[in-house]
Structure 1
């Protein structure tokens, strides 16, 4: 039987299509960090790093340390991680106590590829003679997208990826410093969530309430009860990212953050307002 070239080509293309469909259907979607650049590795060339694939394989043989604040940790963290904030005065003391009892590798992590805390944690630990440490510099957000089964969001695991706040929702609740000040009125509550050591510059003194991110829940509930719009600012616009998860969980609709936080306000060089 003679098979025409066109028929052979048709069968070949068909086989390729079937193979591709099999890959699409049966291969689980995976998060890939291959194209992500890690800008801080050049600044800390001596700090060992670990990929999300390798960390996932070694979770049971690793002491995983989240070096962010307790508030950030409570919002979202890697499953079975422990929280030791690098800003805590007893950071090294706690690490040394862990090392005395546990010889497993220690891996530090924080928010993401531009978060320096995990690098500083490794650097500090190494300087104090603590061995076998490394940094997971993809951070918690990248980890959650890659391994939702090994992450915890507001006590829930696996993490439903549709509950992660995307840029669209984030942008919908950002106001420029000028618009932020313009939105202040009798039906608003303005809250400064900076930590006490960040309050070297004070703004909007006549209208602002002060509550660090881990103390804000009471004010959030009051604003919701009274039907007030929340206007919230932090130091540089990063703390509010985690607070947004809490506001969404509480079902608030009318809340806005100052873009860039206090630093954004200062850079905008706004004229004095009636609230200063």
Structure 2
């Protein structure tokens, strides 16, 4: 089966996060053995002068026992897909400084931070924050988790199980099929008899503001999906469509694994998340 985003079968099933075209270009380079050019890593020039060297995919693969790999994304993202044996230390966590210092001391190894892809700056920000906290050797695997999954599925964990094959990853086309622009999203909600609208933003992101005239349920993503699972059961038993909005259209990519795993037949994501709605309202 092709990897996500391919029209010719060479690249297909892994593009996923922020900056998909760059991820796909990198995937081609990895799969076909072609060297990746600077244009594939748009953040490298920006961070070139801050003393955080990048680590290439095969360099990391050959040095897994000599480097401590850190997943700087949210815990939910980590639990969905991560590099095997990586340690989850979200950049946004309150104890980030203490955790990275403890890991550096305990492992005695360089810390290598990663996030979702070549345009995701979380890994660079995490490495810089680690250096400011006192970590002497902080590096970045800026190709991201999907490029890693393409190249080394045997060293990747999906939903708690070894990935083994990239065919288990959701195709980019399947994600895009569930995306609706703002007008289409609202129109489909209004055309539905009894929709279930779920705002998965965090409490801080939502700030008490409902974008759907209090018709939505606020259910932030958590690792156990317990509250969300109740709504999914209702939706499936009563044949009701589900509509999801996040902050910027990124979290829903990870949520889709859960929805597909539960067999939810009708669900839709707001393209660009709440930020698109605010943008159309002239709110920055």
Q: TM-score, normalised by structure 1?
A: 0.83
| Residues 96 and 130 in structure 1, CA contact (< 8 A), matched pair in contact too | yes
* Structure 1 gaps, min length 5: 1-27, 271-276
Per-residue CA shift, 1:127-161, capped at 9, x if unaligned? 12211110100110111011111101112213421
1:175 paired residue number: 180
Q: CA RMSD in A?
A: 1.9
1:25 paired residue number: none
In 2: Cα distance, 1:73 partner to 1:211 partner: 19
In 2: Cα distance, 1:226 partner to 1:99 partner: 51
1:262 paired residue number: 274
**30 and 148 in structure 1: CA distance in 2 versus 1, 3 angstrom threshold:** farther
Alpha-carbon deviation of 1:217? 2.8
Does structure 1 residue 247 correspond to structure 2 residue 259? yes
In 2: Cα distance, 1:31 partner to 1:133 partner: 27
| Residues 32 and 146 in structure 1, CA contact (< 8 A), matched pair in contact too | no
Does structure 1 residue 212 correspond to structure 2 residue 226? no
Does structure 1 residue 106 correspond to structure 2 residue 121? no
| Residues 31 and 151 in structure 2, CA contact (< 8 A), matched pair in contact too | no
| Residues 30 and 146 in structure 1, CA contact (< 8 A), matched pair in contact too | no
* Structure 1 counterpart of 2:204, from 189, 197, 204: 197
| Residues 194 and 235 in structure 1, CA contact (< 8 A), matched pair in contact too | yes
| Residues 177 and 268 in structure 1, CA contact (< 8 A), matched pair in contact too | no
2:167 paired residue number: 162
Per-residue CA shift, 1:198-236, capped at 9, x if unaligned? 113531132110001224233223322222111001011
| Residues 154 and 165 in structure 2, CA contact (< 8 A), matched pair in contact too | no
Q: Aligned runs of 1:129-140 on 2, under 5 Å?
A: 129-140=134-145
| Residues 31 and 146 in structure 1, CA contact (< 8 A), matched pair in contact too | no
User: Whose radius of gyration is greater, 1 or 2?
Assistant: 1
* Structure 2 gaps, min length 5: 1-29
DSSP-derived class of the 1:122 partner: helix
2:36 paired residue number: 34
Give the total of aligned pairs.
Answer: 243
2:246 paired residue number: 234
Q: Aligned runs of 1:51-66 on 2, under 5 Å?
A: 51-66=56-71
Per-residue CA shift, 1:76-132, capped at 9, x if unaligned? 000011101110010010111222222111111111111111101110111122111
Alpha-carbon deviation of 1:59? 0.6
| Residues 79 and 152 in structure 1, CA contact (< 8 A), matched pair in contact too | yes
Per-residue CA shift, 1:47-74, capped at 9, x if unaligned? 2110011000001111111011111111
| Residues 117 and 145 in structure 2, CA contact (< 8 A), matched pair in contact too | yes
| Residues 180 and 269 in structure 2, CA contact (< 8 A), matched pair in contact too | yes
In 1: Cα distance, 2:34 partner to 2:93 partner: 33
Q: Which moved more, 1:144-153 or 1:177-186?
A: 177-186
